[in-house]
Structure 1
Amino acid sequence: MASSTHGRSVPKHQAVSLHIGLNSVDPAHYGGWSGELSACEFDANDMAAIAKVQGMKATVLLTKKGTRAKVLSSIRAAAKALKSGDLFFLSYSGHGGQVPDVTGDEDDKQDETWCLYDAQLIDDELYHELGRFRAGVRIVVLSDSCHSGTVTRDLPATVAIVPTAQPSQRPKLMPRSVGLRTYRDNQAFYDRLQREVAKAAGDGVIDPDQALANVAVSSRLTGVVRNFKAAAVLISGCQDNQTSMDGAHNGAFTEQLLAVWNNGGFKGSYASFHARIRARLPPTQSPNLFALGAAGALMAQQPFSV
């Protein structure tokens, strides 16, 4: 549909969204672990409801449909279709995991992952896929999951990884033993994925964990994806040394996001949206805010505006 300005037809921006929610994973890939959760499918459906009200074309992938092939295919289709000014909204609710980083500067680095149904999606891959979007495309990513790579790598033994939870809650954290077993059984697969991304990105790629930890220094971001043309805002459910909690009806992060959003009643920027959500969560779970590309203008916009 188009509007008219001084006799000229001005096309409306396109907006598409992808919402992934996994209440379990395939134990055949994860060493016998199914990772049962309760609220992730609710989270995905609730995010899709926001997208539809805002006029987006929404795709929802729940549990068994949340495979690597379907997720990557959906992201790539959006990258191919969207042009400058268009919007891509991506949400994930499920377990966070880890694989050893085989392309970074330190041998003991761990790459963060989303635990998709049939295998993990490595953060290097995600950022590389976002780098496929055209200049001027706006990207919003919400991740209600644990970033367990840094959690299990850096916390001293005296610090508890899992915060105090309500009876209805459980951490969205793939246990370290499961992560090690999954990587051991599929090492060639995960190592190949990382090397393919590094090769596609070119020499000198910087580890995404390191780049995002220094998000204020724009020169570091170019190492994630060398030619990142789009503008992306990413809000994660917790800090790297914390755990995102599941719930009976929504994950803790998504529950507070919905409360702040207030059925569209929230008025403000992505920055204030993040701050309001963070203020409603306990000190044990503090959502993080990242940016990729020239995201200043996007950060100032009303959340989910097409």
Structure 2
Amino acid sequence: MPTGLSIHVGLNKVDPAKYNGWDGQLMACENDARDMAAVARAAGFEETVLLTEQGTADNITSALRKAAKKLKDGDILLFTYSGHGSQMPDTEGDEPDELDETLVFYDRQFLDDELNREFRRFSPGVRIFTLLDCCHSGTATEVPAAAEGNGEAAPRVMPVLRQQQVFEQNQEFYQNLQRELRKEGNGAGPGTVLISACQDHQVALDGRVNGAFTGALLRVWDEGAFSGGYQDFHRSIKDRLPRSQVPNFHTTGSPSADFLGQKPFTV
């Protein structure tokens, strides 16, 4: 029988000492991580949950590398992240918009290319399903409240001034990291399915109980009553969100038709 491992990260704040005094307070990210872990557990995954202070780059990288050593061809990894998303200048020229997207971990920003590098450590036959409930926006945007009664909503985006300050204060570190990742190249890697909360130029909404994206996902999933493949799942979540937040569906490493046609969270 295949093995399923899942890693769930939820950060309701970050370390202000690492972000020029900004703590990035949010309400629902830890709830998102716990709720996604419950979905994974019910589907037969062995879950790891990292909340706020535990959500450091080293802890998350360590969890991913342990999973990469354990999972074999035919197995599946589920990785979910709920927190802030940001962008920084792409100094290596591999991004069309000249910006690298980042996940805002507790102690530092984690480049999208870093996440890809960790996924490439997995055997090519491992299925990887990633859910990111965060902003990928480099500008502050006025955002309307979510449409389905999720309570007071705020964008999960690092303010532009903070983005600039944090990058400038750690510019040498991030530029060296970008250079290192560029030299390594992307490669094919295992088949990966990503459903993210919004497009790169948009922001994702927080909420009192869940983020707008995670809340919509949980309603679509309906405790496992959902039927259909990953693309059907994406479309159904998209239908429940406002036009200001359009979930993205993206694949890398050429996931098989069998993988794409499976019911999400199938071990």
- What TM bracket, shorter-length normalisation? over 0.9
Change (3 A) 1:61 1:106: closer
Amino acid paired to 1:70: N
The separation in 1 between residues aligned to 2:120 and 2:45, in whole angstroms, is: 21
Corresponding residue pairs, total = 262
Q: Does 1:131 align with 2:91?
A: no
Q: 1:187/1:107 Cα in 2 relative to 1: closer, same or farther (>3 Å)?
A: farther
Name the stretch that deviates more: 65-74 or 191-200. Answer: 191-200
1:164 aligns with 2:144: yes
Please tell me whether Structure 1 or Structure 2 has the larger radius of gyration of its CA atoms. 1
Distance 1:249 1:97 in 2: 22
**C-alpha separation between the residues in 1 aligned to 2:126 and 2:97?**
35
Distance in 1 (alpha carbons) for counterparts of 2:252 and 2:177: 22
Alignment of 1:152-191 (within 5 A): 152=139, 161-165=141-145, 168-191=152-175
Instruction: Check the 8 A contact 1:89/1:139 in 2, yes or no.
Output: yes
Greater than 6 Å deviation, 4+ residue runs = none
Q: How does 1:1-306 map to 2 (within 5 A)?
A: 12-104=1-93, 109-149=98-138, 152=139, 161-165=141-145, 168-201=152-185, 225-228=186-189, 230-295=190-255, 296-306=257-267
Q: Deviations over 1:193-224 (max 9, x none)?
A: 111212222xxxxxxxxxxxxxxxxxxxxxxx
- Does the 8 A contact of 1:237 with 1:285 survive in 2? yes
CA RMSD of aligned residues (A): 1.5
| TM-score normalised by length of structure 1 | 0.83
What's 1:215 paired with? Answer: none
Please, what TM-score do these two structures have when normalized by structure 2? 0.94
One-letter amino acid of the counterpart of residue 143, structure 2: P
Unaligned runs of 5+ in 1: 1-11, 153-159, 202-224
Distance 1:257 1:108 in 2: 29
State the identity as a percent: 49
CA displacement at 1:106 relative to structure 2: 7.1
47-56 vs 98-107, which moves further: 98-107
Give the gaps of 5 or more residues in structure 2: none
Give 3-state SS (helix, strand or coil) of 2:231's partner. helix
1:79 offset after TM fit, Å? Answer: 1.2
> Residues 94-149 of structure 1, C-alpha deviation per residue, up to 9 Å, x if partnerless?
00011211111579711000000000100011111111111210000000000014
Question: 1:143 is paired with a residue of what secondary structure?
Answer: strand
Mapped to 1, the partners of 2:224 and 2:101 lie a distance apart of 32
Counterpart-to-counterpart distance in 1, 2:76 and 2:7: 11
CA distance, structure 2, for counterparts of residue 251 and residue 239 of structure 1? 16
Question: For the structure 1 residues 108 and 282, does the alpha-carbon distance in structure 2 shift closer, same or farther, using more than 3 Å as the test?
Answer: closer
